[in-house]
Chains A and B, each alone.
Chain A
Amino acid sequence: MTRIRFQQSLDELKEQLLVMAGLAEQAIQRAIEAYRVRDLSICDLVNRSEMAINRLEREIDQAALDLLAMEQPTAIDLRFILSVIKINADLERVGDAAKNITERVRGMEQMAIVDLPVDIPRMATLASEMVRKSLQAFIEGDAELARTVLTMDDAVDVMNRAAYKSLTALMAEQCHLAPQALNALMIARILERVADHATNIAEDVIFWVQGDDVRHNKKMKTVPDPHAME
């Protein structure tokens, strides 16, 4: 075995990303808990996590950049580093999403807690599970597990559309509930984006492990070639 130092650097990069992943996943769960119980002290915890995530994002990008510049990786190592850079960006956006949820929670501090026709905790559980599974796939280098995440995204999309339909209907019928409904709608939208980031991470894992680019596959056949367009 040669290039031992390089392999150690790749392992360290993976560990750094997993630390960040843990923070991002925890941030989403805490943000939803803050929403559920309207607890601003939890929002503060999420904000601190988000700052730590931002810092890690820069450190990971720098470490990946150094490896690209100094080691000239190829094949599976090159795909790994590219995937890390992209997963890093997605995890940072998951951290942002958690913070955005807490901003909604802060805005709802003075509002009464009402029953709304949307199950935000369930949607959050599903989105978090997607993040967790995609990261598990990353830890184990398991492309098949990553593929199961792709199929879960549709369920979150369906829930988001259902939330939009029921909450806009509620706002039309009961105007006094519009502030709460609007916040819930925005949180549902944020969770749908979290699921998208989990999907991106799963796609990056597949690319790293198998070299297959599975992004946009459903739509790709109907999209015109941009190079042929003026």
Chain B
Amino acid sequence: MGVGIEVSNLNAWYGTNHTLQEINLNIPANHATALIGPSGCGKSTFVRCINRMHETNPIARVTGKVLIGDLDIYADAKPVEIRRRVGMVFQRPNPFPTMSIYDNVAAGLKLNGYTNRRALDEIVEKSLKNSALWDEVKDNLRKESGASLSGGQQQRLCIARALAVDPEVLLMDEPASALDPVSTSKIEDLIFQLKSQYTIVIVTHNMQQAARVAEKTGFFLNGRMVEFDTTHKIFTNPSDKRTEDYITGRFG
């Protein structure tokens, strides 16, 4: 099951560039939360702070507190453990090209020392079913490589790979921006189904996508969180003029 995310006084830097400034935010468990904002506003940096990927860049720095459930990720957890609990799906599907479909999904588990073949089979099947890919690949699990799939299928494979390690949170950074409308629709349907089991945070430039899949939406601008509210409120009557100007296309 998903857990809530509590962010307090979060600040992030790339070198001297203060990319995130005093972010305070409570992301509810088992819901989809969308983050919107113009390019460079800090939304991707924000999600990279939630699984401690931001600090993998040598010139990057983070201060503040992020609680994933009860786990204080910057105080008492190892990055590897956090990334098991917080899965991530990127803009461009990135399956391991030399691995079969099966091995792509099982990769995270094998990396964590999982060797029970039968259990692995079950988890791979369950993950591919949860990512709505099972019916399309079940006959070629070990024969085909992940790279042989279409873009939309590859993205669902990456979602299956993220789900296989049984995370509590799923971060999605523009998961459908490189996909055609049919594949996009499948990813959105998937998000809708998965949010009852996982806490989903999705970064998107597509306003309608945010409106369709997320219950809550946050608007970022120049490294700050301008407004965080129900998606309905943000898209029908936002409180802040800057939010309204952005979503109506007056700037950005």
Given known pairs A74-B207, A76-B244, the reply for A1 and B236 (CB within 8 Å) is no
Give complex CA distance A75, B208 in Å: 12
Q: Is the CB of A2 within 8 A of B207?
A: no
- Chain B residues in 8 Å Cβ range of A79: 236-237
Given known pairs A211-B236, A211-B237, the reply for A75 and B251 (CB within 8 Å) is no
- Chain B residues in 8 Å Cβ range of A3: 248-250
Given known pairs A74-B207, A75-B244, the reply for A2 and B237 (CB within 8 Å) is no
Most chain B beta carbons < 10 A, residue from A72, A73, A74, A77 = A74
Q: Is the CB of B250 within 8 A of A75?
A: no
Q: Is the CB of B236 within 8 A of A72?
A: no
Q: Is the CB of B208 within 8 A of A72?
A: yes
Q: How far is the CB of B10 from chain A (nearest CB, A)?
A: 27
Give complex CA distance A79, B236 in Å: 7
- Chain B residues in 8 Å Cβ range of A75: 235-238, 243-244, 247-248
Q: Is the CB of A6 within 8 A of B247?
A: no
Whether a CB of chain A sits under 8 angstroms from the CB of B252 is: yes
Residue of B nearest to A6 (CB): B249
Whether a CB of chain B sits under 8 angstroms from the CB of A78 is: yes
- Chain A residues in 8 Å Cβ range of B211: 74
- Chain B residues in 8 Å Cβ range of A73: 248
Q: How far is the CB of A76 from chain B (nearest CB, A)?
A: 6
Q: Is the CB of A76 within 8 A of B248?
A: yes
- Chain A residues in 8 Å Cβ range of B207: 72, 74
- Chain B residues in 8 Å Cβ range of A6: 249
Q: Is the CB of B247 within 8 A of A74?
A: yes
Q: How far is the CB of A67 from chain B (nearest CB, A)?
A: 12
- Chain A residues in 8 Å Cβ range of B247: 74-75
Q: Is the CB of B208 within 8 A of A78?
A: no
Q: Which residues 49-82 of A sit at the B interface, judged by CB distance below 8 A?
A: 72-79
Q: How far is the CB of A228 from chain B (nearest CB, A)?
A: 22
Partner of A2, one of B235, B236, B238, B251: B251
Q: How far is the CB of B210 from chain A (nearest CB, A)?
A: 10
- Chain A residues in 8 Å Cβ range of B244: 75-76
Give complex CA distance A72, B206 in Å: 11
Partner of B252, one of A2, A76, A211: A2
Give complex CA distance A73, B211 in Å: 12
Residue of B nearest to A2 (CB): B249
> Which residues does A use to contact B, with CB under 8 Å?
1-3, 6, 72-79, 211
13 pairs from A and B in contact (CB 8 Å cutoff): A1-B250, A2-B251, A72-B207, A74-B207, A74-B235, A74-B236, A75-B237, A75-B243, A75-B244, A76-B248, A78-B235, A78-B236, A211-B236
> Which residues does B use to contact A, with CB under 8 Å?
207-208, 211, 235-238, 243-244, 247-252
| Given A3-B248, A74-B235, A75-B247, 7 more pairs with CB closer than 8 A | A2-B250, A6-B249, A73-B248, A74-B211, A75-B248, A211-B236, A211-B237
